[in-house]
Amino acid sequence: MAKDIETEAHNVLAHKDYHDPPPAPFFDAAELRKWSFYRALIAEFVATLLFLYVTILTVIGYKHQTDPCNSVGILGIAWAFGGMIFVLVYCTAGISGGHINPAVTFGLFLARKVSLVRAIAYMVAQCLGAICGVGLVKGFQKSYYNRYQGGANMLSHGYTKGTGLGAEIIGTFLLVYTVFSATDPKRNARDSHVPVLAPLPIGFAVFMVHLATIPITGTGINPARSLGAAVIYNNEKAWDDQWIFWVGPFIGAAIAAIYHQYVLRAQAAKALGSFRSSSNLGCGSVYGELKHISPGMIIV
């Protein structure tokens, strides 16, 4: 194990074709004075508004159709959610990072990809955008909206709260894990010859999770989406189950961040190996010189 860590440290010191960005500061008040910060908030707000507007309309349209042959079906709903995420992440990735989901923001915050200030501001913008998006749907189709439960996430009959919570944890884990993998600088460098957009696998992850969990919870995996529908629909059942769609996604996002950063990318081991290597190389001892001459003969 020690030898593996030392080898990894030497590889880090040597030239490599990718660079991990430095960790974001935990609290960066200076962001509040930058226009780029507020531009990112606007992008997150508008993207989440559009996301909820299109997807909730799709859900209501599906429930309104009595003939299955003329309805988009569950498959169509899953495509609507996955397709909108693909489009909106593609549009906003260069401005805000294309989170459009408090669970994604929370996972990236735990991985030190965004600061606490940005994470909280993003979550507020996302929730406000979701509420406004669902509000537009109700404003345009009030009778249909109330009749078909406003697209609100609720635990389906026959499923326990534990089952619903587990579905949300696993579904969000898959989504956030895909986000980390698709945006990993090491993967981007290794697969630079493959013309695959990062938003594509993220959108497909949302699509696949919806196929699996629509019958259980209606598929949340996005606390802003669940909150927006619950606020506008304002039904007791939707509020009773609301905690599932916050606790589950946040747990799933945390597990995904830990798994990707500390198991697959071994950030802690790399940091330890880099520290040990730099200490040994900088000591100027005979041992440090010997390591450069014949590293295979010395066991660390």
227-260 pLDDT, tens digit per residue, is 999 999 988 888 999 999 999 999 999 999 999 9
Q: Is residue 11 included in any domain, yes or no?
A: no
Q: How far is CA 163 from CA 137, 250, 256, in A?
A: 30, 16, 19
Q: Name 90's Cβ contacts closer than 8 Å, sequence gap at least 6.
A: 98, 197, 199
pLDDT at 300 over 50: no
Judge whether 211 and 201 are in contact, CB under 8 Å.
no
Position 192 scores a pLDDT of 53
Q: State the pLDDT confidence band at 56, using cuts at 50, 70 and 90.
A: very high
Six-digit token string for 65: 């159709």
User: pTM here?
Assistant: 0.80
Q: Is residue 18 included in any domain, yes or no?
A: no
Q: Is residue 279 included in any domain, yes or no?
A: no
| 221 Rama class: left (phi>0) / alpha (psi -120 to 50) / beta | left
Q: Collapsing DSSP states into helix, strand and coil, what is residue 258?
A: helix
Q: State the pLDDT confidence band at 27, using cuts at 50, 70 and 90.
A: confident
Residue 133, classified by CB atoms within 10 Å of its CB into exposed (0-12), middle (13-18) or buried (19+), is: buried
Residue 93 is given by DSSP the state T
Domain count, the chain: 1
pLDDT at 8 over 70: no
Nearest to 154 by CA among 86, 233, 95, 87: 233
Q: Name 133's Cβ contacts closer than 8 Å, sequence gap at least 6.
A: 48, 49, 50, 51, 52, 53, 56, 228
Q: Rounded distance, CA 153 to CA 4, Å?
A: 47
Q: State the pLDDT confidence band at 109, using cuts at 50, 70 and 90.
A: very high
Query: Mean pLDDT across the chain, nearest whole number?
Result: 82
Q: Domain of 184? A: 29-263
Q: Is residue 6 included in any domain, yes or no?
A: no
Selection from 58-67, 106-115, 193-202, 273-282 with the highest mean pLDDT = 106-115
Q: Is residue 253 included in any domain, yes or no?
A: yes
Alpha helices in the chain (DSSP H): 2-13, 35-64, 73-92, 102-110, 116-140, 142-147, 161-182, 185-190, 199-217, 223-233, 236-240, 244-258, 267-282, 286-293
Long-range Cβ pairs for the range 65-73 (8 Å, 24+): none
Q: Is residue 24 included in any domain, yes or no?
A: no
Position 284 scores a pLDDT of 42
Q: State the pLDDT confidence band at 196, using cuts at 50, 70 and 90.
A: low
For residue 177, what is the domain's CATH number?
Answer: 1.20.1080.10
Q: Is residue 175 included in any domain, yes or no?
A: yes
Sign of CA dihedral 226, 228, 231, 233: negative
Q: Is residue 61 included in any domain, yes or no?
A: yes
Residue with tokens 């990072």: 97
Tell me which of 16-25, 42-51, 90-99, 189-198 is least confident: 189-198
Residue with tokens 């909280």: 120
Position 161 scores a pLDDT of 94
Judge whether 244 and 165 are in contact, CB under 8 Å.
yes
Nearest to 228 by CA among 141, 147, 124: 124
